[in-house]
């Protein structure tokens, strides 16, 4: 590792700890739940806790199914985590610097080279507990050179800026990982001045979520997927159109993850009477029928909740 990379790494490590205490002294419960939440852990510096992928013998290999002899071997050496690419006559190794993904579904790993960020070839898939080729990488290839642009990081970090230094482009030192408080509450440092969430309109609340949950720009239609458009789907629903105040935060607390479907079904009956649905049965949540799980178009073994709430369960 050259001195410049070491410097960038030193600057990014530990940035979380330095920015939180001011909020924590008064909002302890929120900060604590946020720390364990997907937003709080959307990106992190590499560590044994942050990386979910396995490095132990028997679980640390990704072998090509197309090209015999091409494989990736994951190795932990002290505090460093390596991906070794091995092919007949070729070898390439890089260490993980950043982790993208709290690990709800998966994680992808990045490394620094000459101040820029690149994606590593092996990603971890949580559902199957296996290493997989990073999305878009060829089975059998030995690619280490996919560059990570600042656009990619706008939704996964609080701040990762590109700057010019000595005539070259690099990520500015001091990037802030995770989605920190300031990402969604930019003027919270001054409570007297801020117009906080309690005074946000519905449009303002939806606009915040849409920055990152509005799907891939240019996609033809809203669809549930890894980079799905929950905002577009919800806005197509009768529930949204016919009620003045339904937002994403009617069901989700952005500072914590709630994945129990029965609790989320409880949100429906804040507005609907169970008896009015002839199909509803005691003990069977509303969500299973009205927000059906749909298969991902991009990743074969994955499914997502449709946020288009309809009276035609399963259909659109």
Q: Rule CB under 6 A: which of 185-204 touch ligand HEC?
A: 185, 188-189, 191, 196-199
**Applying CB under 6 A, does 116 fall inside the site for ligand HEC?**
no
- Contact pick of 49, 65, 77, 270 for ligand HEC (by CB under 6 A): 270
Using CB under 6 A as the binding rule, the residues of this chain from 132 to 171 that contact ligand HEC are: 151-152, 154-156
Q: Tell me the CA distances in angstroms from 6 to 108, 111, 115, 173, one per residue in order.
A: 21, 12, 9, 10
Question: Minimum distance from CB of 285 to ligand HEC (Å)?
Answer: 6
Q: Please, which residue, 21 or 58, has the CB nearer to ligand HEC?
A: 21
Question: Minimum distance from CB of 235 to ligand HEC (Å)?
Answer: 7
Query: Among 98, 103, 118, which Cα is nearest to 54's?
Result: 103
**Count of beta carbons in the 10 Å neighbourhood of residue 244:** 5
Q: Please, which residue, 11 or 248, has the CB nearer to ligand HEC?
A: 248
C-alpha torsion 197→203→204→207, nearest 10: 130
Query: Which residue do the tokens 């629903």 mark?
Result: 237
Query: Among 217, 196, 192, 215, which Cα is nearest to 205's?
Result: 196
- Contact pick of 4, 5, 11, 38 for ligand HEC (by CB under 6 A): 38
Using CB under 6 A as the binding rule, the residues of this chain from 197 to 256 that contact ligand HEC are: 197-199, 205, 208-209, 211-213, 224, 226-228, 230-231, 234, 238-239, 242-243, 245-246, 248-252, 254-255
- Contact pick of 44, 170, 176, 183 for ligand HEC (by CB under 6 A): 183
Using CB under 6 A as the binding rule, the residues of this chain from 85 to 104 that contact ligand HEC are: 100-104
Nearest position to ligand HEC, beta carbon: 196
* Among the residue ranges 4-12, 31-39, 53-61, 67-75, the one whose residues contact ligand HEC (CB under 6 A): 31-39
The vertex-43 CA angle with 47 and 75, nearest 5°, equals 35
Q: Please, which residue, 16 or 87, has the CB nearer to ligand HEC?
A: 16
Question: Minimum distance from CB of 219 to ligand HEC (Å)?
Answer: 11
Q: Please, which residue, 5 or 226, has the CB nearer to ligand HEC?
A: 226
Size of the site for ligand HEC (CB under 6 A): 95
Question: Minimum distance from CB of 69 to ligand HEC (Å)?
Answer: 28
Question: Minimum distance from CB of 33 to ligand HEC (Å)?
Answer: 8
Q: Tell me the CA distances in angstroms from 101 to 89, 137, 155, 269, one per residue in order.
A: 33, 18, 11, 32
Using CB under 6 A as the binding rule, the residues of this chain from 47 to 66 that contact ligand HEC are: none
Using CB under 6 A as the binding rule, the residues of this chain from 272 to 311 that contact ligand HEC are: 272, 274, 276-281, 284, 286-291, 304-305, 307, 309-311
Q: Please, which residue, 76 or 154, has the CB nearer to ligand HEC?
A: 154
């Amino acid at each position: 590792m050259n001195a410049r990379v070491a410097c960038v790494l030193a600057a990014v490590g530990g940035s979380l700890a330095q920015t939180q205490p001011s909020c924590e002294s008064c909002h302890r419960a929120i900060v604590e739940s946020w720390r364990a939440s997907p937003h709080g852990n959307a990106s992190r510096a590499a560590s044994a806790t942050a990386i979910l992928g396995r490095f132990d013998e028997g679980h640390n290999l990704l072998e090509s199914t197309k090209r015999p002899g091409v494989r990736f071997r994951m190795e932990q050496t002290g505090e460093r985590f390596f991906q070794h690419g091995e092919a007949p006559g070729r070898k390439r190794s890089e260490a993980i610097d950043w982790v993208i993904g709290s690990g709800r579904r998966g994680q992808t790993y990045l490394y620094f080279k000459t101040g820029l960020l690149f994606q590593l070839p092996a990603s971890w898939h949580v559902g199957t507990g296996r290493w997989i080729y990073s999305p878009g990488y060829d089975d059998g290839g030995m690619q280490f050179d996919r560059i990570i642009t600042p656009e990619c990081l706008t939704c996964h970090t609080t701040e990762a800026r590109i700057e010019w230094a000595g005539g070259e482009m690099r990520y500015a030192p001091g990037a802030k990982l995770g989605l920190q408080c300031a990402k969604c509450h930019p003027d919270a440092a001054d409570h007297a001045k801020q117009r906080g969430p309690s005074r946000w309109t519905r449009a303002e609340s939806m606009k915040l979520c849409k920055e990152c949950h509005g799907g891939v720009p240019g996609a033809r239609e809203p669809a549930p997927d890894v980079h799905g458009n929950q905002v577009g789907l919800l806005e197509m629903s009768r529930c949204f159109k016919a009620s003045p105040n339904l937002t994403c935060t009617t069901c989700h607390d952005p500072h914590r993850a709630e994945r129990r479907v029965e609790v989320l079904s409880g949100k429906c009956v804040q507005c609907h009477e169970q008896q009015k649905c002839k199909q509803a049965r005691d003990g069977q949540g509303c969500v299973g029928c009205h927000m059906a799980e749909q298969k991902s178009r991009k990743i074969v073994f994955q499914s997502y909740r449709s946020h288009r709430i309809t009276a035609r369960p399963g259909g659109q």
